[in-house]
Amino acid sequence: MRGHIRARGKQSWEVKLDVGGRDANGKRQIHYATVRGSRQDAERRLTHLLAQHDSGTYVAPSQISLAEYLRTWLAGADHLAKKTAERYGQLIDAQIIPFLGRVPLQQLRPSQIADWHQKMRRAGGKGGRPLSPQTVKNAHRILHCALQRAVALEIVARNVCSVVPAPKVSAKEIPILARDDIAHVLRRLQGHRLHPVIALAISTGLRRGELLALQWRDIDLDRASLRVERSLGETASELYVKSTKTTHGKRTIGLDEDIVEILRQHRRRQNEERLVLGRGAARAKDLVFSDAQGAWLAPDTFSRDFWRLRKTLDLPDVPLRGFRHGHASICLAAGVDVLTTSRRLGHSRPSTTMDIYGHLFGPTDDAAVAAIRAAKSGK
């Protein structure tokens, strides 16, 4: 018999389901469920379970909590970059487990997801402060990803985060270094140790980690070109070298004459400092940008140093990533095609460049109107 109902007490029934097969110990796989109500209720539950089993949607009962599952899932998520895994762990510990962690994974319901969103928006931050819609959306996305894996493993029958959408987030305008500000910034930075790396960021649009992972062998000053091969990552416990963000991240970028001269001067100064310290001239594998001992510059420390310098020198209120965005905006405004700009930035697809910077093309479609008019007139 595939299913059986047994009375356990007044208005309480045990539903037994033989799901077939045997476990690791050779015992038949029998699953049980308790139903409170009439025998008809128990019969309906058994019929439902049998239908699920026959359709392949049956999920064996489990009492594992959401907290237990999330920690196991994250520990096994080897595909995540170290920084991403660290950020996921922070959001899981701070924004998911305190609200939903005790709920059995299989008992998580859409109503609880909706309630979770509201609680986070009202008082989900440190000290009971409200959380931004973006943070709520990030936490929702992580839970959705984890539950999708549970569906694939047949631990749960559906992803409840697919039922309740994440909160909408208004698109923020990307902070960029305007064309007219570039000369001012470089002039103010003249003679400062950050001048070469900021100048290179403006000239190439490289990501922060890509700049800090550059070695002298990556730069051909005679041919005015730079090869991006790797990136420097950082977690709370370590600095590490990783491959570029996308397969298209490995790329060769042309350099303008000004930045070539800045890099030549930087290398001369670096060699002078190394000789004073008895370390000899920089070799091909040595870092282009490093501390006095030739070691990595931590990305977060680099950002903080620039933030302080920005205040001291009264530079435009643009973070480091604004130089990358500024580089893209200058290329597009000058008529550089999207494919070339995309390749310089290391995007996997030109469509990514369009999604991020499409607004820089302006709101009018005068060129399209003119082209249609010309076609209709036979010109």
Cβ within 8 Å of residue 253, ≥6 positions away: 204, 206, 225, 226, 227, 228, 344
| Mean pLDDT for the stretch of residues 127-140 | 93
**pLDDT surpassing 70 at residue 365:** no
pLDDT, tens digit, 9 for 90 and up, residues 152-170: 887 888 999 999 999 888 8
Residue ranges with strand state E in 306-359: none
Range of the domain at 32: 3-55
Whether residue 222 is found in the same domain as residue 259: yes
Cβ within 8 Å of residue 52, ≥6 positions away: 58, 59, 157
Contact (Cβ atoms closer than 8 angstroms) between residue 344 and residue 204: yes
Split at pLDDT 50, 70, 90, the class of 378 is: low
Segment of 196-200, 328-332, 358-362 carrying the highest mean pLDDT: 196-200
Whether residue 102 is found in the same domain as residue 232: no
Whether residue 70 is found in the same domain as residue 50: no
Whether residue 245 is found in the same domain as residue 200: yes
CATH at 96 = 1.10.150.130
Q: pTM score, two decimals?
A: 0.77
